[in-house]
């Protein structure tokens, strides 16, 4: 799986969760994960999560680290497993830094405050995942925890690169592991 962190700030509005967005914007073809920082403002009209739409819960963060991954030849249930794997990779990276992190499905919490948003969906050609981590906590519509303002993680780029490398290695290793066993 290919990885990329872009230094260009991108406002995540939900429309980026579409097939070939990574290919069209970064010329990376195939399975990939990209990360970027910027404001997050997902209106109900762009929401993929029907539960959030029903509950009238748009998503907003003044400054967020976003990961978008597109993976091909994957069904939605496997995509949700991969989404949960990404969340677990993030949780593990934070715990290795000494933080106590609670995971509830695809949500991460620190001190009972939400750190993340995440969704997995299926397009005609791929599975798409967006996971966002608050960098700053001010301006959020609910109590949130944040990488910089609460956890004092200053080098967001290095943190993102670590997450993407570990996630990519896990996906590649899973694929490789499936080739070394004989059928029974």
Q: Specify the pLDDT at position 103.
A: 98
Q: How far apart are CA 157 and CA 22, in angstroms?
A: 18
Q: Specify the pLDDT at position 50.
A: 87
- At residue 173, what are phi and psi to the nearest 5 degrees? -70, -35
Domain boundaries, the chain: 2-175
Give how far Cα 59 sits from Cα of 77, 78, 182, Å: 24, 25, 46
Output the CATH code of domain 2-175: 3.30.930.10
Q: Specify the pLDDT at position 45.
A: 82
* DSSP class of 50: H
Q: How far apart are CA 16 and CA 34, in angstroms?
A: 11
Q: Specify the pLDDT at position 84.
A: 98
CB contact at 8 A, 65 and 147: yes
Q: Are strands 32-42 and 2-5 parallel, antiparallel or unpaired?
A: parallel
* DSSP class of 123: -
Q: Specify the pLDDT at position 157.
A: 98
Output the pTM of the full model: 0.95
Q: Specify the pLDDT at position 29.
A: 98
Closest to 131 in 3D by CA, of 69, 175, 70, 174: 69
Q: Specify the pLDDT at position 56.
A: 82
- Dump pLDDT digits (tens) for 26-69: 999 999 999 999 999 998 888 888 888 888 888 899 999 999 99
Which residue positions in the chain have pLDDT lower than 70? none
């Amino acid at each position: 799986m290919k990885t990329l962190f872009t230094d260009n700030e991108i406002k995540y509005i939900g429309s980026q969760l579409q097939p070939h967005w990574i290919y069209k914007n970064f010329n990376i073809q195939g399975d990939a994960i990209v990360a970027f920082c910027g404001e997050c403002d997902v209106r109900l009209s762009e929401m993929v999560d029907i539960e959030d739409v029903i509950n009238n819960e748009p998503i907003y963060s003044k400054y967020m680290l976003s990961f978008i991954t597109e993976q091909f030849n994957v069904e939605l249930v496997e995509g949700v497993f991969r989404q949960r794997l990404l969340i677990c990779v993030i949780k593990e990276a934070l715990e290795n830094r000494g933080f106590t992190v609670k995971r509830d499905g695809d949500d991460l919490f620190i001190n009972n405050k939400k750190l993340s948003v995440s969704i997995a969906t299926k397009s005609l050609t791929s599975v798409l995942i967006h996971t966002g981590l608050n960098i700053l906590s001010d301006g959020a519509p609910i109590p949130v925890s944040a990488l910089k303002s609460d956890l004092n993680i200053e080098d967001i780029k290095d943190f993102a690169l670590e997450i993407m490398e570990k996630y990519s290695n896990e996906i590649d290793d899973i694929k490789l592991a499936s080739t070394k066993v004989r059928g029974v």
